[in-house]
Amino acid sequence: MIYSNKKNRFYSELKNVLEAMDEEELELVICDPVFAKTLVIDDFYDFDSENEVESIGVDALQEAITLFNEAMDGIPLSWSPTTTKFKVVK
């Protein structure tokens, strides 16, 4: 992903960058992916509690957390512009 500081716009395809470059200088920078935080059960459940009724839902919660983490693994949620400049040579 590439970001234009001048246009305040993200570009995911080079052809779009090239089209925009015809209009003006873009001041392009490379972006880093931002991934979802890996969830852990401690984020949701107080294991200091001795309530047996609550513990029934712990297995379901752990399964949901595992499914979420597996589904989100390696998938960027967003992109963050860096200070690394990107230059396109036509």
Rounded Cα–Cα distance for residues 66 and 41 (Å): 9
Q: Which pTM does this prediction carry?
A: 0.70
- The pLDDT value given to residue 60: 86
| Helix, strand, or coil (residue 35) | strand
List, for residues 22-53, the tens digit of each pLDDT value. Answer: 777 899 999 999 999 999 988 877 666 665 55
